[in-house]
Structure 1
Amino acid sequence: MGSLQDRIDQAGGPLAMLRSSQIGQYVFPVAAEWSNWRDEQEAWNNSAVLLDQSHHMTDLYIEGPDTVRLLSDFSINNYRNFGRDRAKQIVCCNEQGQVIGDAVLFGLDDCRVNVVGRPHVPNWLEYQVSRGGYDVVLDRDERTVGNLRGRRTYRFEVQGPNAWAVLEKVNGGPIEGIKFFGMGQITIAGRRVRVLKHGMAAAPGLEIWGPAHEGELVRNAILEAGREFGLIQGGGRAYSTASTESGWYASVLPAVYSDPTMADYRKWLPDNGFEAMASLGGSMISDRIEDYYILPWDAGYKFADFNHDFVGRDALLALKDEPHLKKVSLVWDNDDVVDIFRSQFNDGDQRYKFMEAPAAYYATFPFDQVTKDGRSVGFSTYVVYSSNLRRWVSLALVNENDLTDGDQVEVLWGEPNGGSNRPLVERHRQKLVKATVMPSPVPSRVREGYRPYLEMA
């Protein structure tokens, strides 16, 4: 089997490889809809929703006396009070301080953790362990795509303003003593299950997991308890929009493709893995892969702890007081979006790039150019339709000193030269779409009450 580096060399460089990939959106291998995606979106804002996260993320279990030392050496986080029933948003960088990836870190015990997320961070940590020097044991539970043995655990999320009432009913009593982004246990259908507390829509909810064979029993108990509170199941189509609506940058392009110090890592990664098969799409065109990398601050991760040594520390310390990108939401102009849909009736190639609802992004890593008065000010990513907002909205990273809330910008929708050579991208024209800069996330009650992983050091 070849390596990522082999694939890059064969393609003529990382950009050529990523832009010619036949892969589209990141796959959420669950039912697309249980009812309809509009009601499922609105449930996390108005009542409660059960989201199935059992299949699309990689779980990397790490256990041993050097567990915390490994994590500390390769992430920007603070681990002084980390241990059992603590959780963090772990962020890993390369030597230049550019983000390789982020994931949720669950403290299962003082020397045992689970790293859950897209494969970027599990791959990076597994590689470091393979080089030796850490007394740990790894157990990898691959996401359903490519997992031949079946998942070890189910993972559900119950969110929305009625979520806590549902959870306390199914638990048979009050749920107390679990702090935000803390962990604990509750009882569901006679089973003790572990939970992580966080929230959407200005209300607390729980992420719940346990042995895979108990998943349907737990699911059915939650659905039964939630019936009177308006809880419904959310499918893959609604779930694909949740990160944009809640203001979380779902997945950075891993900064591993060009750094000379990471040559051995690229040779370690397989030629059919996530980094090799992922796709890059959109109107932002550069001949430098580094222009698609970001720093932790750009995505809102402001918790870098410089009181310990970690890969990327010196570079980040030098850049700490420099201008950064700022994460915002862009609310797209209704008339311009209607023009895109109206163009679908035009003859030949006189159509704009189609906007698939509810998630219109068509690559693993979407990058669309954002301009103000004809000048580039950043990029837009993960554009979705929100039934809660009744608008198309995207997440964007823009120059922090150039834009403020309420400013008008333009997003260039579609790809140059009539489209790409990827079969899943139809021939089309580009369209400048007006958009309004707004805080991220957009809804005021969500913005005030949703405390995302960004704060957790």
Structure 2
Amino acid sequence: MTSLQEKMDRAGGALEMLRTSPIGQYVFPVAPEFSNWRDEQEAWTRSAVLLDQSHHMTDLYIEGLDTIRLFADFGINNFRTFRRNKAKQFVACNHDGHVIGDAILFGLDDFRVNLVGRPHVPNWIQYNALNWGYDVVVERDERSLDNGRGRRSYRFEVQGPNAWALLEKLNGGPIDDIRFFSMGQITIAGRRVRALKHGMAAAPGLELWGPAPEAEEVRAAILEAGRDLGLVQGGGRAYSTASTESGWFASVLPAIYNDPKLAGYREWLPAASFEGNASLGGSYVSDRIEDYYVTPWDCGYDFVDFDHEFVGRDALLARRDEPRLRKVTLVWDIEDVVAIFRSQFEEGDARCKFMEAPAAYYATFPFDAVMLNGERIGFSTYVVYSSNLRRWISLALIDERHAQTGGEVEVIWGEPDGGTRRPLVERHRQAIVRARIAPSPVEAHVREGYRPQSARPASPPRVPA
């Protein structure tokens, strides 16, 4: 097998390929824990956390006169003022208006950018850059798992209530020239470090990057400066929960598997690509892969710019007034979760699907059915334990008619076939878990209400929209 299309054909279709994939959840190849994942989670709401993002994302560098035109042609975003030191959450759709994925686009110079994210959006942009005559040069720096040469850059994130004081201490003075979701430079250990300003935990922080050989010197300086400010290094286990707390849909199922207009793209993608090796898991089962696709509005991407032509524009215009899904947080019922753990002591297949802490999702793309009065109204995804909330929570996309805060729904936890089709999933029975609807991300008053034992203030994590 050489292409994604050939792999799909041999498997009997995309759904069969994804459902039987032996791949588990997306890997964050950093130390699992530096202290313990519970304290590391709480650091982004109580003090400050240093997260190492140097290894799990693909960097796609694009330079040339057609750089902005390329991204405008394939993105829903407004690019009229995009230039050096600007950044965007870039979102790409297929011709039917379904999301292929999102990634962060960094304006390194007026005609030079870096697209950073999971591999599927860089794959899509690279394919189109190379095949449709754009005047650009493409350079790819693979994530560490696929990179035998070592990474070109390090990428650190410093976030939390004490982050800004820490960053200004490192810089030797105020940082007042970087606006939200814009870029600038600061000084760390005598090194000029590029930085993107955004927020997590409702407090400003910076994403920092520079040449990979400088990584350990910069990391050591950050850790030393943060010693008295409660700085904690966050490992892979804590990091795997951050997107759910922040209300960010970490990765949609890329809408590339059935669009006839993307047949050439599927032939171009290798069989061993991210799209070819990814897995689909959970209780939400349909025989139509389109039922796993989402629109930008479903994900909360309300910045669709119809004042320019882009792939998917006409389809999105046609469905602009259609009913949508709404992104919410589901707070899972304590007793129902306890019952899942209690079932692990049952004999044979009477146990429920195990919930690995702190991230219980076990597929690249997790989909669990959300039910109300026996009707499926959406899906739950990326279920995690939050030490900040002291609850199991998940992101969910549900019918906006039923998305009222405080409403109760049911999540079906576990595989419909009892885990018999996937080697990474143990035999089990499905469980029904009650869940309360909360905002996404969870608002401060809700968070504090769930944790009355704590008098310490806490604010919700946030990411840019």
In the alignment, what sits opposite 2:383?
383
Q: In 1, are the aligned partners of 2:284 and 2:369 still within 8 Å (CA)? A: yes
In structure 1, distance between residues paired with 2:77 and 2:420: 39
Give the TM-score, by structure 2 length: 0.96
Q: In 1, are the aligned partners of 2:344 and 2:352 still within 8 Å (CA)? A: yes
Give the TM-score, by structure 1 length: 0.98
Q: In 1, are the aligned partners of 2:179 and 2:197 still within 8 Å (CA)? A: yes
3-state SS of 1:384 partner: strand
In the alignment, what sits opposite 1:452?
463
The ranges of structure 1 where at least 4 consecutive aligned residues each deviate by more than 2 angstroms after the TM superposition are: 445-453
Measure how far apart 1:420 and its partner are.
3.7
In structure 1, distance between residues paired with 2:423 and 2:172: 52
3-state SS of 1:102 partner: strand
In structure 1, distance between residues paired with 2:462 and 2:226: 24
In the alignment, what sits opposite 2:228?
228
In the alignment, what sits opposite 2:204?
204
3-state SS of 1:38 partner: helix
In structure 1, distance between residues paired with 2:274 and 2:358: 24
3-state SS of 2:209 partner: strand
Measure how far apart 1:402 and its partner are.
2.1
In structure 1, distance between residues paired with 2:221 and 2:325: 44
In the alignment, what sits opposite 1:255?
255
Q: Does 1:160 align with 2:160?
A: yes
In the alignment, what sits opposite 1:333?
333
In structure 1, distance between residues paired with 2:245 and 2:352: 24
In structure 2, distance between residues paired with 1:448 and 1:303: 25
Amino acid at match of 1:157: E
In structure 2, distance between residues paired with 1:179 and 1:101: 26
In the alignment, what sits opposite 1:370?
370
Amino acid at match of 1:83: R
Measure how far apart 1:360 and its partner are.
0.1
In structure 2, distance between residues paired with 1:444 and 1:323: 29
In structure 1, distance between residues paired with 2:287 and 2:464: 33
Aligned residue-pair number: 454
In the alignment, what sits opposite 1:55?
55
Change in Cα spacing, 1:380 to 1:7, as seen in structure 2 (3 Å) is: same
Change in Cα spacing, 1:451 to 1:347, as seen in structure 2 (3 Å) is: closer
Measure how far apart 1:419 and its partner are.
1.4
In the alignment, what sits opposite 1:110?
110
In structure 2, distance between residues paired with 1:210 and 1:331: 38
In the alignment, what sits opposite 1:133?
133
Change in Cα spacing, 1:360 to 1:450, as seen in structure 2 (3 Å) is: closer
Q: Does 1:87 align with 2:98?
A: no
In structure 2, distance between residues paired with 1:434 and 1:119: 35
Q: In 2, are the aligned partners of 1:25 and 1:362 still within 8 Å (CA)? A: yes
In the alignment, what sits opposite 1:312?
312
Alignment of 1:38-77 (within 5 A): 38-77=38-77
CA deviation profile, 1:159-207 (whole Å, cap 9, x unmatched): 0000001101111111111111010000000000000001111110000
Amino acid at match of 1:452: V
Alignment of 1:334-353 (within 5 A): 334-353=334-353
In structure 2, distance between residues paired with 1:61 and 1:51: 23
Q: In 1, are the aligned partners of 2:53 and 2:155 still within 8 Å (CA)? A: yes
Q: In 1, are the aligned partners of 2:441 and 2:460 still within 8 Å (CA)? A: no
CA deviation profile, 1:219-242 (whole Å, cap 9, x unmatched): 000000000000010000000000
Moved more, 37-46 or 121-130: 121-130
Change in Cα spacing, 1:182 to 1:449, as seen in structure 2 (3 Å) is: farther
Q: Percent identity?
A: 71
In the alignment, what sits opposite 1:16?
16
Amino acid at match of 2:169: K
In the alignment, what sits opposite 2:170?
170
In the alignment, what sits opposite 2:436?
436
- CA-atom RMSD in angstroms: 1.2
